[in-house]
Amino acid sequence: MIITLLDYGAGNVRSVVNAIEKLGGKIKPVTKPSDILDAEKLLFPGVGNYENMIRILTEKNYIAPLREYLKADQPFFGICLGMQALFEGSEEDVSGNESLSMFKGRVNRFKTDLAVPHIGWNGVNLKKDSPVFKDVLPDTKFYFVHSYHIVPEDESVVLTTTNYDYEFVSSVQQGNIIGTQFHPEKSGNAGIKLLENFIYQKDLRAKKAVDIKAKGLSKRIIACLDVRTNDQGDLVVTKGDQYDVRDEGNVRNLGKPVELAKRYYEEGADEITFLNITGFRDFPLKDMPMIKVLEQTSKNVFVPLTIGGGIRDYTDSNGKTYTALDVASRYFRSGADKISIGSDAVDIAEQYLKTGKKTGKSSIEEISRVYGNQAVVISVDPKRVYVNSPDDAKKHHVIKTQFPGPNNEAYCWYQCTVQGGRKTRNLDAVALAKACQELGAGEILLNCIDKDGTNSGFDLELINAVRNAVCIPVIASSGAGCEDHFFQVFEKTSAQAVLAAGIFHRKEVPIQNVKNYLLERNIEVRSTI
Ligand code: 1PR
């Protein structure tokens, strides 16, 4: 089966391509407007910013053939923005460019006190007996990552709804035209099944209405792979103790990145994060080791992939300049869904807090403008600084701690570091997170150098301090040693996800055991059994 793919050049379409190819389909990319009308089945994965998407579709003269194709009720599957484009316009688009206007209704930003973007695995309430959902279990969860959702005027197009503070429409179907807000290509086996049905079901039309209810948003469990080249020149997954990755002088080697990522996917990880921990030193596009890792991983791993390390502007030895956006774009094209910025975020936040002005040119602003803020994660590497009184914290966000310092100091603040903890800065983690949110970041990966690799549990005081200061999702990281540590994070903080490394690499606790433990305690997680 030939599937025509409409890729307008923003974001990660590699996973969609990999999924279709894994299912035995052949991809034919749209290179000119007439390819749209010639398609047997058309797949449109939209990623990033709505205004940018419509602008590109208009420039390439794709709007008219798309309308004609849709009007003829030809098989169409729009993903995320690819579905939003079917409606009349979006709050994200202030240009007033014309959309496809296939369905009546608009795209609005979430109006909620919950974290926006809505990121993670959520259930879908099925409203139609659609062949696209054939053999997909009703309580299956799908991966969402978006700040805007559709508001159709005509109820009859609704295929599923999803609850996130309130019920919103998460997919639509009319005849052979299907659109999902969630990403099937990132939703593990369930999503792959959906795509398989789209490719191989002869008649896609829904026969009757149904009303099958689903469970809500899951807390996410993320496996993290710190990657670097060891002294023998091999790219390895390593793991530090408070960021020191050497044992008797040698870089710890805990496995190969692509193999480990596949293992964690099969074991039920909800996301995989790769951190190129020496990225601050080496230019990531030079020998491109992480690009190959992403390309190979995304062939078999159908959950979101984040890549961090070295995302910043760079001038090479020949004087050629690369922007952080260039680096990020290369990663997105190689299979990444999100990029994570560490050291550069500290520089940007310091500058922003000093001047009070957004330049529009920082890596955070540029990447979120093109790819959407959900694609920009800020990796924070803080260390505790103990003080006797809040006055000693020099205006930094200070907390009264239950775990006093070495000299019985009752307070602490969390100092930001750069270059993998090698250098400290006069900026606290709460101020950094707030500034980055204002600049357009979509998520915070909150590490903690004091806790990293200790297996002693998470710094819940740090997590609460940052989580309570921002409305974007927070991923708690550093210190997991047993199942209960994950439970403590979800019980005592409102973090949306927990990331761990060492216990998974050393096979101390399988991911499924963590999930079973959480399920037994009524924490909603995605079950992959
Ligand atoms: O500054 O943009 O180039 O990004 C560098 C990235 O590399 C940052 O995200 C930074 O956190 C990471 N990094 C740099 N050096 C190290 C190191 O370990 N020497 N690793 C490092 C950070 C921390 C976590 C770890 C958790 C969980 N690793 O991601 O996986 O602490 O560990 P645990 O469960 O075993 O406790 P830039």
Task: Render each residue's pLDDT in the chain as its tens digit; 529 residues.
Answer: 899 999 987 667 889 999 999 999 999 999 999 999 999 999 999 877 889 899 999 999 999 999 999 999 999 999 999 999 999 999 988 887 889 999 999 999 999 999 999 999 999 999 999 999 999 977 799 999 999 999 999 999 999 999 999 999 999 999 999 999 999 999 999 999 999 999 999 999 998 999 999 999 999 999 999 999 998 989 999 999 999 999 999 999 999 999 999 999 999 999 999 999 987 776 666 657 889 999 999 999 999 999 999 999 988 778 888 999 999 999 998 999 999 999 999 999 999 999 999 999 999 999 998 888 899 999 999 999 999 999 999 899 999 999 999 999 999 999 999 999 999 999 999 999 999 999 999 999 999 999 999 999 999 999 999 999 999 999 999 999 999 999 999 999 999 999 999 999 999 999 999 999 999 999 999 987 6
Query: Taking each helix axis from N to C terminus, what angle separates 363-371 and 324-334, rounded to the nearest 10 degrees?
Result: 40
Tell me if residue 259 is catalytic: no
Distance 277 CA to ligand 1 centre (A): 6
* Residue 55, Cβ density class (10 Å: 0-12 exposed, 13-18 middle, ≥19 buried): middle
Q: Are residues 269 and 208 in the same domain?
A: no
Closest Cα to residue 272, out of 7, 522, 500?
500
The answer to whether residue 183 is catalytic is yes
Whether the CB-CB separation of 521 and 483 falls below 8 Å is answered with: no
Domain boundary among 212, 241, 261: 212
- Three-state SS for 58? helix
Q: Count CB-CB contacts under 10 A for residue 507.
A: 8
Residue 244 domain-assigned (yes or no): yes
Q: How far away, in angstroms, is 226 Cα from ligand 1 center?
A: 6
Residue nearest to atom 15 of ligand 1 (CA): 420
Interatomic CA distance for residues 120 and 187, integer angstroms: 10
Split into its structural domains, the chain has a count of 2
Q: Are residues 182 and 254 in the same domain?
A: no
Give the residue from 56, 42, 179 showing the smallest Cα distance to 107.
179
- Domain identity same for 243 and 178: no
Cα 367 from Cα 401, distance rounded (Å): 36
Does residue 420 lie within any of the structural domains? no
> For a substitution probing ligand 1, which of 277, 444, 514 has the most ligand atoms within 8 Å of its CB?
277
Residue by residue, what is the 3-state secondary structure of 188-223?
Answer: HHHHHHHHHHHHHCCCCCCCCEEEECCCCCCEEEEE
The closest of 301, 267, 290 to 500, measured between CA atoms, is: 267
128 plus 160 within the same structural domain: yes
β-strand partners of 209: 128
Residues paired with 166 in a beta bridge: 164
DSSP-assigned states of every residue in 273-318: EEEETTTTTS-TTSS-HHHHHHHHHHHH--S-EEEES--S-EE-TT
| Ligand 1 atom nearest to 342, measured from its CA | 2
Residues 278 and 202 both lie in one domain: no
Tell me which of 212, 247, 264 is where a domain ends: 212
* Whether 128 and 20 share a structural domain: yes
pLDDT tens figures, 457-512: 999 999 999 999 999 999 999 999 999 999 999 999 999 999 999 999 999 999 99
State both tokens at 152.
């159709």
Identify whether residues 345 and 457 lie together within a single domain.
Answer: yes
The whole domain housing 67 covers 2-212
Q: Which amino acid, 24?
A: G
* Same domain? 228 vs 370: yes
Taking a C-beta distance cutoff of 8 angstroms, is the pair 458, 246 a contact? no
Q: Do residues 156 and 244 share a domain?
A: no
Distance 420 CA to ligand 1 centre (A): 6
Do 58 and 159 reside in the same domain of the chain? yes
Q: Whose CA is nearest to atom 12 of ligand 1?
A: 277
CB atoms within 10 A of CB 311: 29
Q: What is the CATH number of the domain that holds 135?
A: 3.40.50.880
Which residues are bridge partners to 383 per DSSP?
415
**Ligand 1 atom with the shortest distance to the CA of 505:** 35
Spatial contact of 474 and 463, defined as CB atoms under 8 Å apart: yes
Write down the residue that tokens 């940052």 correspond to: 466
Q: Which amino acid is at 335?
A: G
- How far apart CA 521 and CA 491 sit, in angstroms, is 9
| pLDDT in the model for residue 95 | 84
Residue type, 361: K
Ligand 1 neighbours (beta carbon < 6 A) = 224, 226, 239-240, 243, 245, 275, 277, 279-280, 308-311, 340-344, 379, 381, 420, 447, 452-453, 477-480, 500-502
To test the pocket of ligand 1, the residue of 225, 340, 348, 379 to mutate (highest count of ligand atoms within 8 Å of its CB) is 379
Does residue 131 fall inside a structural domain?
A: yes
514 neighbors 483 (Cβ within 8 angstroms): yes
Residue 247 lies in a domain: yes
330 belongs to a structural domain:
yes
Catalytic (active site) residue 118: no
Give domain status of residue 22, yes or no. Answer: yes
Does residue 347 lie in a domain region?
yes
Residue 36 contacts residue 6 (beta carbons within 8 Å): yes
Considering the domain architecture, whether residues 182 and 226 belong to the same structural domain is answered as: no
The residue type of 21 is E
Same domain, 41 and 73: yes
In 3D space, the residue among 259, 293, 263 whose CA is nearest the CA of residue 275 turns out to be 293
Residue 384 maps to a domain: no
Question: How many residues can be counted in the chain?
Answer: 529
Report the CATH number at residue 299.
3.20.20.70
Single residue among 163, 183, 212 that ends a domain in this structure: 212
Catalytic residue among 92, 118, 146, 185: 185
